[in-house]
Structure 1
Amino acid sequence: MDQPIGVIDSGVGGLTVASELLRQLPKEQLIYLGDTLRCPYGPRPKEEVVQFTWEMVNFLLQKNIKMLVVACNTATAFTLEQLRLELDIPVIGVIQPGARAAIKMSQNMRIGVIGTEGTINSKAYPNALKNINSKILVNDLACPRLVPMVEEGILSGPEAYKVVNETLQPLKEQNHIDTLILGCTHYPLIREIIQEVIGEHVNVISSGEETAREVSTIMGYNKKLYSGDRIPKHQFFTTGRLDVFKRIASQWLDQPFKVVENAVIGINKTN
């Protein structure tokens, strides 16, 4: 089926999911929209996150997408069920795939979760994990400083290490988790620092790979996979600064910069 897959996120973090989609589904076209102008979503009220998410969804529906991937954990926690009820295309979030991946990796069933305030307060990850295995012990931690840092393009160096180290101290002090879920799609962009801080003995889980696998499975089942032979043309949209978005996208997607540059289009928003 020659229609694109739509991917939405509160900013650049969803590029980590888009990267996995490009790797696992190289024939499929992607249309990505990152709401960098209004990022982060984590501190916002649920009603506002729902409103912003639907604005992004409606934009992508105009592009005739065949599937929607909600690559923002906060938006997934607050809107996934509503989107699935009201849309006539498959909708995939990132929380369930991340939870399943963590359970596969954990040996002692003690799992940590880091995310935005909205994601952590929603208890979406503990609920998803305990729905699979009620014996799992979950330690979750809100990390409000990480998304703004990533959106500014600070992905490495002393400043990034300092922020991550200070943020993760509560989890380090407990020192019993063997698996850590990156409950925000921005966090894989600083995964190496997170791994260094939390320790090599902890499995660090990003939901991107599992989410892409689920997308592939569902599209195959629904006979929506593109079966022809082509080099797909992807489109990337951002509501905020193009320069920061282009720089991070070109690094993370591991594609020639001109491809990203030609595809990124700014969207003017007044609210």
Structure 2
Amino acid sequence: MRFQNKVVIVSGGSSGIGLETGQRLSGEGARVYNLDIVESEAVGSKFIPCDVSSFDQVQNAVQSVIAAEGKIDALFANAGIHKFGTIEETAIEDMQKIISINCFGIFYLLKAVLPVMRKQESGSILLMGSDQSFVGKGSSAAYGMSKGAIAQLTKSTAIDYAPFNIRVNCICPGTCETGLLKKAVTGFNQLSGVSESEIMDMLEGAQPIKRVSKPAEIASLACYLLSSENSFMTGALVPVDGGYTCQ
């Protein structure tokens, strides 16, 4: 098994892509620690309550993993939120929340985990990007900004930590059938008045493959990117988007 005796932290592992990835990692032998604000009964994962927008909580959670395991082999910084809206439609509070979770949440995880991996001289890190790490979308000012920032953070961190045998990559899903999507569709419905079924039809039709992805399809790639099978890949932004960004 690819992750036999490996210790892996997954943020936002209680639902969606994080949940599916954590279960797959566990099934392949990993000891998975799920950092989330919502408890999950996912088989094989150990839950640590953690709001990633708080550096103190992130640091405490990471230290508890170190105390239990003595090492961290891999990190999937997956936790994030979405918000539809132009700049005028985005409240200051919403922008602050997006940045605090999507950007600072990942920065805090890196800040807490990288010293451990640097001392080990090994580690694999995967950050959660988006098709919006490559392209812009309408009514997505705050979310698109956050995912563009993560793309650049991936590259600079990969360069800085390559000498320590730490790989840093970014998975960039397109539209995926998760609770996050459901909330986003409801939000766009409230802003635009377009029905949720029409919104889903538009989202599916925008993909060359003519459907949105399922969490299992993203998790499959996430596990590969976290594994030693891609030992020469670092600093990569990897799309898994049904062809959306190749148009």
Scaled to the shorter chain, the TM-score interval is 0.3 to 0.5
Greater relative contact order (Cα 8 A, min sep 6): structure 1 or 2? 1
**Normalising to structure 1: TM-score of the pair?**
0.41
**Normalising to structure 2: TM-score of the pair?**
0.44
